[in-house]
Amino acid sequence: VVELGMPTRSVITTCAYCGVGCSFKAEMRGDQVVRMVPYKGGDANEGHSCVKGRFAFGYATHKERQLNPMIRESINDEWQVVDWETAISYTAKKLLEVQAKYGSGSIGGITSSRTTNEEVYVVQKMVRAAFGNNNVDTCARVCHSPTGYGLNQTFGTSAGTQDFKSVAKADVIMVIGANPTDAHPVFASRMKKRIREGAKVIVVDPRRIDLVRSAHIEAQYHLPLQPGTNVAMVNAMAHVVVTEGLVAADFVAERCEGYEEWAEFVSREENSPEAVEAITGVPAADVRGAARLYATGGNAAIYYGLGVTEHSQGSTMVMGMANLAMATGNVGRDGVGVNPLRGQNNVQGSCDMGSFPHELPGYRHVSDDAVRELFQAVWGRTILPEPGLRIPNMFDAAIDGTFRALFVQGEDIAQSDPNTKHVFAALESLDLLVVQDLFINETAKLAHVFLPGTSFLEKDGTFTNAERRINRVRPVMAPKTGKHEWEIVCEIAAAMGYPMTYNQTSEIMDEIAALTPTFSGVSFEMLDKVGSVQWPCNDKAPEGTPIMHVDGFVRGKGHFVPTTFVPTDERSTRKFPLILTTGRILSQYNVGAQTRRTANVAWHPEDILEIHPHDAEVRGINNGDMVSLASRVGETTLKATISDRMPVGVVYTTFHHPVTGANVVTTENSDWATNCPEYKVTAVQVGLRHPA
Ligand code: SF4
């Protein structure tokens, strides 16, 4: 134990974990953090925090943190520590060699939602301007890419509709495929306060999360649907709204289009709660009751998570929820809306910043000539009008031999992406894998170049949270590696023949603001003055936009889209009779790269399989037994916990520990529109693991 003494200075910055985006005062003594104090002036958290932001910052100085660049010819060689100049020129030379041999499109980059907006922006700029292609994607591909697609199609923009404060005006709160208590704890507290004040609750989730029943909370409806049947469920709710005359007719007539076709679709008998009961497993009477409550209970707000998006119909379900909100007039004011609870601290920002292969910053399609000309004029390079490769396309192309080099910033794709065997095969076949990270993570173990990154304590920039709020991230110390991540990226681009020069981070935000209409009023100076702001922030909304679509939808009229239910290809079979679904736990975060290197790991030292007492009994499994978890693509071993939170036939685990590697068993099935992996539905078998 090191006695740090009293702090001598403090810096206000933003938590590096979840999409709530809590503000903290980092209290410092020298370059040591004495404590992280939740900041009362933080607009997202108002002085509250959870155990991750408050206590789990020690990873920044963990002994496994890498501070020096390293290179090696082959992954079988030892790493060689080199200086920055060598690492940058080696990386640039190798990237150019691969392009010369295999073509311009043979290289690409992946950005991270754990880095700042400014760091993401320069990576996508490097790919488009220095690499000369659109092969850039972000880890949102594996979480909320269906949110982007679905909300864009229906409302006209790829973001949630409300600010967090809005939940205080909700009379009905419908939580779909999310567990805010564990994954978004500070927002969950706001939600629970409103519930204790009397708001009604509908939970749509196979698992009995604590919002269904816990101290002072008893949901009016829990719809424990079979994994993979979300769309059938939302169609059944819409059927009740339309056929029982619960539609907000004036709202629909004035503000929406496509209603007649959609209403005819959902009214069909095949979409009735009685017809879909056999699909979802939820009693029709409960679905009818929940739909009536949502439509007639006053202000009704939807909050949703990865239990919506990580399905083969993730995008369809997002549109289904938007349809339901429009039909009942629950958009465009306090207490309503369709609200993605976005996972990582800057997943909203990484999407906003153009790190999708089809979109430039501000969600503008690369095929739009006027938009490309705008960027070309400032960047001085031609931007291709054709979308580039998504992450799963990169993996497939790597195995085919046409994609040969990848730059990965801050994402552990080897642990986080589905079907680990396939991911490893792809990464092992690359000529060059460059990883920029704090640690030698599972991906870096397969890399040829390692570029040490900065922790949030060293970063200067902005994160954008789940309510579109742009928060400042301020450094409490200089980069321990000697360089900011954006500087490294700029130097690689320059060494490839495309100079990218900024004197300081604020200049990157100035460029973003100049090129992105929804950010045109944003600058570091402005943020330092007002604290934070929600985009759009521009001439029309100089103080930002807490609630979207107030007078009209971003796309003009809200667009109803019929959402036909298509069952997933992943079915339980005699060999794999159970369905696995995955989620997070409060003390840990995603693949655990940060939290596993803090004292938080003591609370959750391993991933555990939750299994219903009946499913355990028929397999002879007792609480705490080691069990095998097998799917058609792989097998792993973990400890069983017997729990009636799961329905019969469904098992659940987290994915925080590489030793378990839950993604060894998840498959390559993905959302039809965005390729977001179907993590939430995997047919598995569970068996008692006998000691060898
Ligand atoms: Fe806030 Fe999320 Fe950080 Fe917890 S993890 S302190 S809820 S931002």
- Render pLDDT for 377-392 as a digit per residue (tens, 0 to 9): 999 999 999 999 999 9
Name the residue of 13, 14, 22, 656 whose CB sits within 8 Å of the most ligand 1 atoms, as the mutation to test its pocket. 22
Spatial contact of 412 and 433, defined as CB atoms under 8 Å apart? no
Spatial contact of 229 and 311, defined as CB atoms under 8 Å apart? no
Q: Is the pLDDT of residue 5 over 80?
A: no
Instruction: Give residue for tokens 């004036």.
Output: 250
- Identify the helix (H) or strand (E) that includes residue 360: strand 359-360
Q: At what angle do helices 230-243 and 259-267 cross, to 10 degrees?
A: 100
Q: Which residues contact 367 (CB under 8 A, 6 or more apart)?
A: 358, 385, 386, 387
Instruction: Give residue for tokens 């003494």.
Output: 5
> Whose Cα sits closest to atom 6 in ligand 1?
53
- Render pLDDT for 574-598 as a digit per residue (tens, 0 to 9): 999 999 998 776 666 666 667 666 6
- What letter represents residue 525's amino acid? E
When comparing pLDDT for 60 and 137, which is higher?
Answer: 137
> From the CA of 531, how far away is ligand 1's center (Å)?
18
When comparing pLDDT for 87 and 666, which is higher?
Answer: 87
Counting every residue written for the chain, the total comes to 692
Backbone angles phi, psi at 498, to 5 degrees: -125, 95
> From the CA of 52, how far away is ligand 1's center (Å)?
6
Closest ligand 1 atom to residue 187 Cα is 7
Closest ligand 1 atom to residue 38 Cα is 6
* pLDDT score of 20: 92
* pLDDT score of 586: 63
* Lowest-confidence region among 4-18, 462-476, 496-510, 558-572: 4-18
| β pairing state of 469-473 and 532-534 | antiparallel
Q: What is the mean pLDDT of residues 606-634?
A: 92
Neighbours of 353 (CB within 10 A): 31
Q: Is the pLDDT of residue 262 over 90?
A: yes
- Render pLDDT for 482-502 as a digit per residue (tens, 0 to 9): 999 999 999 999 999 999 989
User: Going from the N-terminus, what domains does the chain have, and what CATH number goes with each?
Assistant: 9-61 (2.20.25.90), 84-143+345-515 (3.40.50.740), 145-340 (3.40.228.10), 578-688 (2.40.40.20)
Spatial contact of 643 and 210, defined as CB atoms under 8 Å apart? no
> From the CA of 62, how far away is ligand 1's center (Å)?
20
> Whose Cα sits closest to atom 2 in ligand 1?
18
If you average pLDDT over each of 78-87, 455-464, 603-612, 622-631, which comes out highest?
A: 78-87
Q: Which residues pair with 175 in a beta bridge?
A: 203, 303
When comparing pLDDT for 63 and 644, which is higher?
Answer: 644
Average pLDDT, the chain: 92
Quickly list DSSP for 151-207: HHHHTSSSS-S--GGGGGG-SEEEEES--HHHHSHHHHHHHHHHHHTT-EEEEE-SS
Name the residue of 12, 17, 595 whose CB sits within 8 Å of the most ligand 1 atoms, as the mutation to test its pocket. 17
Spatial contact of 488 and 88, defined as CB atoms under 8 Å apart? yes
Distance between CA atoms of residues 369 and 312, nearest Å: 32
Q: What percent of the chain has pLDDT over 90?
A: 75
* pLDDT score of 1: 43
- Render pLDDT for 313-326 as a digit per residue (tens, 0 to 9): 999 999 999 999 99
> Ligand 1: residues within 6 Å at CB?
15, 17-18, 20-22, 45, 49-50, 52-53, 185-186
> From the CA of 646, how far away is ligand 1's center (Å)?
26
Distance between CA atoms of residues 497 and 131, nearest Å: 10
- Render pLDDT for 225-250 as a digit per residue (tens, 0 to 9): 999 999 999 999 999 999 999 999 99
Q: Is the pTM of this model over 0.80?
A: yes
- Render pLDDT for 328-372 as a digit per residue (tens, 0 to 9): 999 999 999 999 998 778 989 999 999 999 999 999 999 999 999
Distance between CA atoms of residues 652 and 646, nearest Å: 7
> Whose Cα sits closest to atom 4 in ligand 1?
50
Distance between CA atoms of residues 395 and 69, nearest Å: 25
Spatial contact of 578 and 651, defined as CB atoms under 8 Å apart? yes
> Whose Cα sits closest to atom 1 in ligand 1?
22
Q: What is the mean pLDDT of residues 561-568?
A: 96
> Whose Cα sits closest to atom 3 in ligand 1?
53
Complex confidence, ipTM:
0.99
- Render pLDDT for 438-472 as a digit per residue (tens, 0 to 9): 999 889 999 999 999 999 889 999 999 999 999 99
Closest ligand 1 atom to residue 45 Cα is 1
Closest ligand 1 atom to residue 465 Cα is 8
> From the CA of 500, how far away is ligand 1's center (Å)?
33
